[in-house]
Amino acid sequence: MPTTRSSRTHSVPTDTIIRLTNCLVPVENRLVPGTLLINSTTGLIISPQDVFYDSKIQPTSTIDLHGRAVVPGFLDVQINGAYGFDFSDASKTDEEYSRGLKEVNRQFVSTGVTSYCPTITSQKNEVYHKVLPHLGPSPRNPTLGSSSLGAHVEGPFLHPERNGIHPPHVLQKPSEGLKSLETVYGKQNLESNVKVITLAPELLPPSSLPSLPSVLASKNIILSAGHSTATFSQLVNSNISMVTHLFNAMHQPHQREPGIPGAVLADVSVSKPRFFGIIADGVHVHPANIKWAYHSNPSGLCLVTDAMALLGLEDGEYVWGNGESIQKTGGVLTLKGTTKIAGSCVTLLECLNNFMRFTNTGIAEAVKTVTKTPARMLGLEGVKGCLEPGADADLCVLEVRGDGSVGVEEVWKFGVKVWEKNGVRRRREGVMEVSRL
């Protein structure tokens, strides 16, 4: 699947180069004073050293960030919708869907999420064929707001015993391996629009299981285990290196059967990294579980919201895509008439603040769970989720509050400031023209 990359990586003298100074940047697990150079024309972070030695490439402007922190833009690899728009909603016309998606991307960027994987829950085949063509990687254009990295299809190959709120009647068995996937999602969608597939690996025919992850990896698709009854050894032997919303919709660790959590948290090495999404809304997973999961496999934890279209709407009863009702009570969503949790309603920023509180980690360390780690999981290391030269200049400027929590004050996309918090005084006095470094 093509990921939209910059057409050129080197800077030329006519480019717009911006120097962010007087800011704190994450280095290892600390925030340290630093400066950041970005090329607004190519949309990339550039090396201060290259600019220093090349007299022809010089910053056109310098922006003083007054001691605030600059971190990579956040990545959310599991989000079902926002601002009333459900990515799985196939009842709209193509035009309505496209317009709604554009509007969501523009609003969504204000939460600090600069790239994400729009997530489709279990649906009938025709829904995938209809919506997936809209959800492939977004064009490289900062005015579009948050961009898709390709869709996350969560289902329909899920285990009926661990369906969560996915309607049982649409679940399927991938009896023919890759061919089943092609039939359900569409061959073209697998080539260009799908980035992550959540399925229950125990449902796959034994003949296709060991090779499927690498076959999909050759299409840059990540296979993730979820809504599954897989045992420890089933997951270890599956070659699958990602787990969807750890602890939710799977067997819990047992003293003689550690299950999926045991595999993803303990069967890890440098040559065999394992990743997992986890919902840190404080409801889906107990804070203590988040803490020990993180300490067991710190470089594998990706915070996800699993947020639904109801994010940002009033409390009340809402009808889900397949006709079932969901009750929204504050940040809690339940399937009406039950206590089953039905997705979340939190922003990734709230998850990040929760995570820092639950695990007692600092900003520089915690922010990796929404930047560097999901980028590595998606195979986008060095492109997204970091501040290294050559990476996309997707940035969040963070306010650090007295209690240690953070707020998003500015969001930059491809080297352009696309959002600024209301009430933040435009610090024009901090912008000055400089002729040289």
Partner 1 sequence: MRLIIRDTKTQTSQWVAEYIIKRINEFQPTKDRPFVLGLPTGSSPEQIYANLVDFYRNGKVSFKHVVTFNMDEYVGIPTSHAQSYHSFMFKNLFQHVDIPPHQIHLPSLENYAEYDNLIAGYGGIELFLCGVGSDGHIAFNEPGSSLASKTRVKTLTSDTIAANARFFDGNINSVPKSAVTVGVKTVMDAKEVILIADGRGKAEAVRQAVEGSISHMWTVTALQMHPKFIMAVDEAATEELRVKTVKYFKDIEGASTILGNPKPKL
Kindly list the catalytic residues.
306
SS3 track for the chain: CCCCCCCCCCCCCCCCEEEEEEEEEEECCEEEEEEEEEECCCCEEECHHHHHHCCCCCCCEEEECCCCEEEECEEEEEECEECCEECCCCCCCHHHHHHHHHHHHHHHHHHCEEEEEEEECCCCHHHHHHHHHHCCCCCCCHHHCCEECCEEEECCCCCHHHCCCCCHHHCCCCCCCHHHHHHHHCHHHHHHCEEEEEECHHHCCCCCCCCHHHHHHCCCCEEEECCCCCCHHHHHCCCCCEECCCCCCCCCCECCECHHHHHHHHCCECCECCEEEEECCCCCCCHHHHHHHHHHCHHHEEEECCECCCCCCCCEEEECCCCCEEEEECCEEEECCCCCEEEECCCHHHHHHHHHHHHCCCHHHHHHHHCHHHHHHCCCECCECCCCCCCECCEEEEEECCCCCEEEEEEEECCEEEEECCCCCCCHHHEECCCCC
How many residues make contact with partner 1 (CB under 8 A)? 9
Task: Select from 28, 53, 126, 435 the one that contacts partner 1 (CB under 8 A).
Answer: 53
Q: How far is the CB of 435 from partner 1 (least distance, A)?
A: 12
User: Rule CB under 8 A: is residue 50 a binding residue for partner 1?
Assistant: yes
Of the two residues 165 and 393, which places its CB atom closer to partner 1 in the complex? 393
Task: Select from 8, 30, 49, 205 the one that contacts partner 1 (CB under 8 A).
Answer: 49
For residues 25 and 36, the answer to whether their CB atoms sit within 8 Å is yes
Q: How far is the CB of 208 from partner 1 (least distance, A)?
A: 37
User: Rule CB under 8 A: is residue 22 a binding residue for partner 1?
Assistant: no
Stretch binding partner 1 (CB under 8 A), from 42-50, 318-326, 405-413, 425-433:
42-50
Of the two residues 51 and 221, which places its CB atom closer to partner 1 in the complex? 51
What residue numbers does the annotated binding site for substrate cover?
165, 248-249, 256, 284, 341-343
User: Rule CB under 8 A: is residue 435 a binding residue for partner 1?
Assistant: no
What residue numbers does the annotated binding site cover?
154, 165, 227, 245, 248-249, 256, 284, 341-343
User: Binding to partner 1 (CB under 8 A): which residues in 76-115?
Assistant: none
User: Rule CB under 8 A: is residue 56 a binding residue for partner 1?
Assistant: no
User: Rule CB under 8 A: is residue 47 a binding residue for partner 1?
Assistant: yes
Burial of residue 307 (number of CB atoms within 10 Å: 0-12, 13-18, 19+): buried
User: Rule CB under 8 A: is residue 329 a binding residue for partner 1?
Assistant: no
Stretch binding partner 1 (CB under 8 A), from 48-56, 162-170, 331-339, 398-406:
48-56
Q: How far is the CB of 436 from partner 1 (least distance, A)?
A: 8
Of the two residues 273 and 390, which places its CB atom closer to partner 1 in the complex? 390
Q: How far is the CB of 383 from partner 1 (least distance, A)?
A: 18
Task: Select from 32, 33, 52, 161 the one that contacts partner 1 (CB under 8 A).
Answer: 52
Torsion of CA 387, 390, 393, 395, to 10 degrees: -10
Q: How far is the C-alpha of 359 from the C-alpha of 287, rounded, in Å?
A: 8
How do 74-79 and 113-120 pair as beta strands?
Answer: parallel
Q: How far is the CB of 49 from partner 1 (least distance, A)?
A: 4
Of the two residues 46 and 279, which places its CB atom closer to partner 1 in the complex? 46
User: Rule CB under 8 A: is residue 55 a binding residue for partner 1?
Assistant: yes
Q: How far is the CB of 78 from partner 1 (least distance, A)?
A: 35
Stretch binding partner 1 (CB under 8 A), from 18-26, 44-52, 296-304, 394-402:
44-52
Q: How far is the CB of 410 from partner 1 (least distance, A)?
A: 25
What residue numbers does the annotated binding site for Zn(2+) cover?
154, 227, 245
Of the two residues 33 and 287, which places its CB atom closer to partner 1 in the complex? 33
Task: Select from 56, 256, 428, 436 the one that contacts partner 1 (CB under 8 A).
Answer: 436
Of the two residues 15 and 267, which places its CB atom closer to partner 1 in the complex? 15
Which parts of this chain interact with partner 1 (CB under 8 A)? 47-50, 52-53, 55, 436-437
